[in-house]
Amino acid sequence: MRTDTGQAFRLEDYRQSDYLIPELEMIFRLDPEKTLVTTKLLIERRDGVAADVPLVLDGDGLKLEKLLIDGGAVEHNDHEATADSLTITRLPRQSRFEVTIVTRLAPAQNKALMGLYVSNGVYCTQCEAEGFRRISYFLDRPDVLSTYRVRIEAREKEAPLLLSNGNPAESGALEDGWHYAVWHDPFPKPSYLFALVAGDLSAVRDRFVTMSGRGVDLAIYVEHGKEARAAYAMDALKRSMRWDEERFGREYDLDVFNIVAVSDFNMGAMENKGLNVFNDKYVLADPETATDADFANIEAIIAHEYFHNWTGNRITCRDWFQLCLKEGLTVYRDHEFSADQRSRAVKRISEVRTLRAHQFPEDQGPLAHPVRPRRYREINNFYTATVYEKGSEVVRMIRTILGADTFRAGMDLYFERHDGQAVTIEDFVACFEKASGKDLTQFALWYHQAGTPNVTVATSYDARAREYTLEVEQSVPPTPSEARKRLMHIPLAFGLVGPDGQDMAYDGVEGAEVEDGVIHLRKRRHIVRFKGVQARPVASLNRGFSAPITLSLVMRQKDRLFLACHDNDLFSRWEALNTLFTEALIDASTRVRGGKSADFDTTLLGYPAEIAADEGLEAAYRALALTLPAEADIAREIGSNIDPDAIGRAREALRKAIAREAQETFARVYRDLGDDGPFSPDAKSAGRRALRNVLLEYMAAGSGDPASAVRQFETASSMADRAAALSVLAHQFPGGDAARAALAAFEERYRDNPLVLDKWFIVQATTPGGKTVDLVRELMEHPAFSLTNPNRVRSLIGTFASSNQTGFHRSDGEGYRFLADAVLAVEKHNPQVAARLAVAFRSWRSLEKGRQEEARKALARIAGEKELSRDLRDIVERTLA
Ligand code: 0A1
Ligand code: ZN
């Protein structure tokens, strides 16, 4: 375990390496306990570097078995090998020479799942960000690009399949039941994109012909017997390949594209060149085992990793500070892909919900950092919602500002200028400046400044002058180590909605640049005057969520309801309703906390029935509109002195009130939507199921009777419907006969399917209320649970801490004590996963005093441990700071 040295890496300290490694050859002789890795590096000294400048290679927990330079031994005095580095002080004078290194690994013992490890009998690697140095000493940094030739030797019985990056070169038999394969990757790549897989897996094969007519052999490798569950992923892969050609002109470049699904994986998936490695959760799906959300995630993640081939692999990052260069851009691309494959409005609403749930609390708490950070202690902790999700929003804003065609021209220029290079955010932005002729200096603050900007707006209409005025003011809150902020360029898409629901025209505008339905805010304060506005409009602002900001706009409830019914921007319709619900819930939770009852306005209560029955709206949209803000969303909006129990009760009361009001309509719509026959994962069918399942939740809440959920659970023909019914039973009728019977039946039916049992763990871990922490502790003893499998840990412990407000925040602090224990237990073998779990503490300062103190004690206990990993210490200390 890498313990903390307190050392911070700073962007301003970036220097080129003195040496390069244009080529390398590797030989792996695989054994679970004793793998030998021979790495032959062709080293090149950069021009101007003196021959006595030592070569310092990175390592992490390595043991050097052998070292040769140009085939000859190296004197003891001329090198120093530690677990973390190999320094060679005496080097040949010529600028190119060869260094051969042999290391020995025990992949079966590697439970950190970084470097080379064994997952369910399959050898696999994970090298991003700094895992390659756990395999061999190397210049393990993204700006050192090399071509790789990799020979894998293994016992044929144990590992009939031998894969690495690039194209297959040769293969054959060896003595004693061993065999080998050689792979060659002609594209220079950084070490974080290296991959090796060896094991006994089945292939699902297909073929893709690229736009220039080249054939590519596609394969998805899964455990035997799971082939049928990879069909959807294969289809998503082919659609992604075609889409990237059509939308971005990007063609695939190798003869093969391989995907391997493994069951132990720290993250979602990894874009290794030509050999993507996936968490099996994001490959395997069929109607019996996967929900609609699973299908949608698989489609998005298959696309994401594939799109990295150009945005990440062909053009990579100069250093890890630039992570958003590949991640923000690739998330933007996968969002666009999913929007094209599904419904754009529904997709956008889901994106914004995710951003608010994950990125906003990060940006508003102790772990806030810019999309392009300037400092880190442990890079693993920067695979964050800010880098990914806000990074994507920034790219989206570039497109909003430039327009679709100029944006595409900027992307084309980026690919043309930087193919084969390791570059920076400045290089990326410069392409759009060049393509558009616009100065994006102020805009680029979105990359450099942390914090969610707030925009306040006051509106007024002068009927006599026919003038409508928006007084707009921006502010960016202070964040850790950034007390003072500069003013941002905020593209605010808008419409002036007239009495008939249509956008109103105006004759002219003063006070800000307004172009194509977007107000460009650049100053602290703008007074934007629209001339010639014939009647008082209702302002629809930040349409489509054009900028990732919080918007404070005082509006009459009547006007918001008007937008919820009539805005022609579907995102803003949803947003208006969501704001109404949020405001009502904040009020209600204050009342509940003061010992009063949670009353709701009847106008608001009447609207859900209208939405449910409105066939002019897509079912998926209706489902989202009827989904109440989550407890965490309400807490975030309240901001301080939070009592999760009061919020939970207020939300429950609103759900019941709506359900009672809309009882008949909900039941009718639920019935009419019916069971739609054979399962299809397409967006329309998924939307129909989503709507039915939201209605089912209301129906159970309104009636207090589990019967309809029991019926659905028993007759469901898909996991989507079965899991939804299970969650209604477990959450609304906890401990009751119906819930217990359903949980037992589910466990029995999926006993041998760990990915499905994860849903069973999740449902129980997210059961509201103070008893759940005990249940979660108990479930850690379940035979299907494993502390070393990240999916199990995230399902049971992770979802409890991140998604169970009343459970985790139990007022006596038991949830916090439990999480601290779990984090320390996981950290022993997997610091990366432990650090991610600990992130659940990040909003502790916004809680009421008693809970704050309990959370602080739990955090301090972790911080007080002597031997903490760099990953965990970094998170805990920043959270406490
Ligand atoms: N680049 C991957 C994410 C990733 C990062 C680190 C990992 O280490 C365990 C694994 C995957 C992506 O964006 O998909
Ligand atoms: Zn990515």
- CA 39 to centroid of ligand 1, rounded, Å: 24
What ligand 1 atom has the least distance to the C-alpha of 301?
14
In sequence order, the 6+-apart residues with CB closer than 8 A to the CB of 739 are 706, 729, 730, 733
Q: Give CA torsion, residues 192, 183, 33, 107, to 10 deg.
A: 20
- CA 352 to centroid of ligand 1, rounded, Å: 22
> Does residue 404 fall inside a structural domain?
yes
Mean pLDDT of the chain: 98
The domain containing residue 332 runs over which residues?
316-448
Catalytic-role residue among 299, 305, 327, 618:
305
329 lines ligand 1 (CB under 6 A): no
Res 4: pLDDT: 80
DSSP conformational letter for 554: -
- pLDDT tens digit sequence for 295-314: 999 999 999 999 999 999 99
Identify whether 129 is preceded by a cis peptide bond (ω within 30 of 0). yes
Residue closest via CA to ligand 1's atom 9 equals 266
Both 364 and 508 in a single domain? no
Measured between alpha carbons, how far is 282 from 265 in angstroms, rounded to an integer? 11
389 lines ligand 1 (CB under 6 A): no
272 lines ligand 1 (CB under 6 A): no
Res 739: pLDDT: 98
Last residue of a domain, one of 547, 578, 598: 547
383 lines ligand 1 (CB under 6 A): yes
Residue closest via CA to ligand 1's atom 2 equals 270
- CA 128 to centroid of ligand 1, rounded, Å: 6
Both 428 and 537 in a single domain? no
> Does residue 678 fall inside a structural domain?
no
- CA 276 to centroid of ligand 2, rounded, Å: 11
Last residue of a domain, one of 480, 512, 547: 547
What CATH number is associated with residue 799?
Answer: 1.25.50.10
Res 677: pLDDT: 79
- CA 789 to centroid of ligand 2, rounded, Å: 21
Alpha-carbon 391 to chain mean position: 11
What ligand 1 atom has the least distance to the C-alpha of 114?
9
Both 468 and 512 in a single domain? yes
> Does residue 165 fall inside a structural domain?
yes
What ligand 1 atom has the least distance to the C-alpha of 330?
13
What ligand 1 atom has the least distance to the C-alpha of 380?
6
Burial degree of 824 (CB within 10 A; 0-12, 13-18, 19+): middle
Both 411 and 463 in a single domain? no
Res 1: pLDDT: 85
Both 41 and 143 in a single domain? yes
241 lines ligand 1 (CB under 6 A): no
Residue closest via CA to ligand 1's atom 11 equals 270
User: Looking up tokens 């603050």, which residue turns up?
Assistant: 445
The amino acid occupying position 596 is: K
Q: Which ligand is nearest to the CA of 328?
A: 2
- 5 phi/psi in degrees, rounded to 5: -105, -5
What ligand 1 atom has the least distance to the C-alpha of 832?
9
What CATH number is associated with residue 170?
Answer: 2.60.40.1730
- CA 326 to centroid of ligand 2, rounded, Å: 7
Q: Which residues of the chain are under the pLDDT cut of 70?
A: 676
124 lines ligand 1 (CB under 6 A): no
| CA dist 800 → 111, 732, 753, 818, 836 (Å) | 23, 17, 21, 10, 13
Measured between alpha carbons, how far is 343 from 336 in angstroms, rounded to an integer? 11
Interface ipTM? 0.99
Q: Are 644 and 840 in contact (CB under 8 A)?
A: no
Q: How many domains in the chain?
A: 4
Last residue of a domain, one of 175, 200, 225: 200
130 lines ligand 1 (CB under 6 A): no
14 lines ligand 1 (CB under 6 A): no
> Does residue 188 fall inside a structural domain?
yes
For residue 440, what are its two tokens? 């994006």
264 lines ligand 1 (CB under 6 A): no
Res 361: pLDDT: 98
Both 435 and 400 in a single domain? yes
Q: Which ligand is nearest to the CA of 129?
A: 1
User: Looking up tokens 């073998």, which residue turns up?
Assistant: 829
Residue closest via CA to ligand 1's atom 8 equals 128
What CATH number is associated with residue 510?
Answer: 2.60.40.1840
- pLDDT tens digit sequence for 662-699: 999 999 999 999 876 789 999 999 999 999 999 999 99
Q: Which of 126, 128, 265 to mutate to test the pocket of ligand 1 (most atoms within 8 A of CB)?
A: 128
Both 458 and 444 in a single domain? no
Pairing of strands 525-531, 269-270: unpaired
How many of the other CB atoms lie within 10 Å of CB of 677? 8
Q: Is 305 a catalytic residue?
A: yes
